[in-house]
Structure 1
Amino acid sequence: MDNYQKRIKMAKKAIAKAEYILIGAGAGLSAAAGITYSGNRFTEHFKPFIEKYGFTDLYSSSFYPFDTEEEKWAYWAKHISLNRYEIGATKIYEDLVQLIQDKKYFVISTNVESQFEKAGFPSENVFQIQGDYGYLQCEKGCHDKLYDNESLVTDMIEKTSDCKIPSNLVPRCPVCGGTMDVNLRKNGYFVQDESWYESDNRYKAFLQESIGKRIVYMEFGVGFNTPGIIRYPFERMTYHNEMATLIRLNRDHPEGFEETQDKTIAFTEEMQEVVTSFMQ
């Protein structure tokens, strides 16, 4: 039996014995699902923007300082639509819900495409801590309400011309009259509405309930952009619970704390292959 098969066997045993499963998901999981921010997917869908602005990928282009709101929203409408509305549930997310559905589980994710809910995870079991492409907020966070953007995004895309939307489609804050933004944690104005705090409380309650219990922390594609949200807490909780196991799927950064190495099962192999193996 090779090393990969040994790790698969160990992981499957840990999952089978677990009372609780906590999934932590980062950008690597969505990339494994095909929601990539560069390469052919980017160049095929954003050719006019690439030609006009010299964009190289969807991540860096998200910080581009557009001259006008009309240009900004032409870009963001396409960005949101491609990653939030034009793609349905993907296989790896659907497999994950099947894998852990008989356990007490919770999900904390820095991803913003709502793939977990699309795949069938109940919304009360998912905490999208960094926001959701499906909502707009006041750019300056003057109030804590979020606004569904699907119909507006559709209108923007239909009426985009020369990488601009008509001025009458530019969203304005209904409270202060200022500009709007996508509900993403990218600055100090990120809006945490009532639903966000409810999810935060449910996450904290899950952590409290699972203290000292047999639990598996399953970490998918979490890098070092925001390690304090998932990666480091998972390491600490694994260290402090003698019955915990950390299963880490990470192509580029499988390494962890030295103190938890004997309780960590790491995979650098392709994520879909690993998840499929867990289910066999």
Structure 2
Amino acid sequence: MSDEFGRAAELIRGAGALLVCAGAGMGVDSGLPDFRGDEGFWRAYPPYERLGLRFAELADPVHFQEDPELAWGFYGHRLRLYRETKPHEGFHIIRSWGKPTRVFTSNVDGQFQRAGFPDEHVAEVHGSIHHLQCFRDCGQPIWPAGPDVDIDEDTMRAVGRLPSCPRCGGLARPNILMFGDFDWQGERSEAILAEVSRWRTRRHDLVVIELGAGNAIPTVRRMSELASARTGALIRINPREPEIRHGRGVQLPLGALAALTELDKRLTAG
């Protein structure tokens, strides 16, 4: 392991730029649930276990039409949780290295922006819970989420007024790509992703740091492997699935905060 940390530190030290590819495991050290399997989801949200509802069933846009209080109970609670969560020190460690950095993430929690990364440098490929869209798709552009939604913690249902579209007054929904979602408005995410991709292809001294991205939904892993394919300059940080195909990179079987803290020690020591 020590040799792997040494290799990773050398890659970062020599990097002209960093691409951070982050999955759900990046937020675990901040106290955020990663919804890994039904049991993990139900530990985070016990009322849904009593109701027999799984994450994949709740993260379905059909509920905004059929039962909007149920839908906003789930997403409203997550919005408040993410707003109240302080990003762990690992986010700040990456920024302290002073390298030009861009982010590619499947997370919708906005933690990178809360830690000081500019919004236009963070490609959120599944959208953001901090932005809303009109459920009716009336033509209203995506807009920032407003005040917290009131939730009955026993039933996990929204109470009172639900978020509405400023143009047509109809129901609003989070600007998140959900399961079976054909109505997600991806223009905001796609515009930032396109700019991050252009930036990435111009950097010939790029090092990719992948954090907390598993195989179950491989979107982030595919990007990290694509971006590092030419050079093999990939650092994969994952406590459960750290393996890198063909050995093209450095694998660190730790959580994000522990690995970034140790890497920072190596870099500081010189």
Deviation, structure 1 residue 86: 1.6
Deviation, structure 1 residue 252: 2.5
Deviation, structure 1 residue 144: 5.8
Once superposed, what is the RMSD of the aligned Cα atoms? 2.9
CA distance in 2 between partners of 1:200 and 1:270 (Å): 26
Structure 1 residues without counterparts, runs of 5 or longer: none
Check if 1:182 corresponds to 2:174: yes
1:60-209 matched pairs, under 5 angstroms: 61-63=58-60, 66=63, 68-82=67-81, 84-98=82-96, 100=97, 102-139=98-135, 141-143=137-139, 145-151=141-147, 153-154=148-149, 156-157=150-151, 162-166=155-159, 169-175=161-167, 178-186=170-178, 187-193=181-187, 195-209=188-202
Check if 1:254 corresponds to 2:242: yes
Deviation, structure 1 residue 124: 2.5
Aligned length: 258
Q: Aligned match of 2:21 in 24, 31, 51?
A: 24
Q: Which SS does the other structure have where 2:163 is aligned? A: coil
CA distance in 1 between partners of 2:6 and 2:12 (Å): 10
Q: Which SS does the other structure have where 1:223 is aligned? A: coil
- Whether the aligned pair in 2 keeps the contact of 1:160 and 1:166 (CA below 8 Å) is no
Deviates more, 1:175-184 or 1:127-136: 175-184
CA distance in 2 between partners of 1:122 and 1:257 (Å): 32
CA distance in 1 between partners of 2:144 and 2:215 (Å): 30
CA distance in 1 between partners of 2:8 and 2:68 (Å): 49
CA distance in 1 between partners of 2:162 and 2:154 (Å): 14
Q: Scaled by the length of structure 2, what TM-score is found?
A: 0.81
Structure 2 residues without counterparts, runs of 5 or longer: 266-270
Counterpart position of 2:227: 237
CA distance in 2 between partners of 1:65 and 1:268 (Å): 38
Tell which structure's C-alpha radius of gyration is larger: 1
Check if 1:279 corresponds to 2:270: no
Q: Which SS does the other structure have where 2:233 is aligned? A: strand
CA distance in 2 between partners of 1:126 and 1:240 (Å): 23
**For 1:54-90, what per-residue CA distance to the aligned partner results, in whole angstroms no more than 9, with x for missing partners?**
346x5654349655222322232112211x2121222
Query: Which amino acid letter does the alignment assign opposite residue 111 of structure 1?
Result: N
Identity %: 21
CA distance in 2 between partners of 1:207 and 1:89 (Å): 25
**For 1:205-226, what per-residue CA distance to the aligned partner results, in whole angstroms no more than 9, with x for missing partners?**
212211xx22211111122344
Deviation, structure 1 residue 137: 1.1
Deviation, structure 1 residue 33: 3.1
Structure 1 residues 79 and 13: alpha-carbon distance in aligned structure 2, compared to 1, 3 A threshold: same
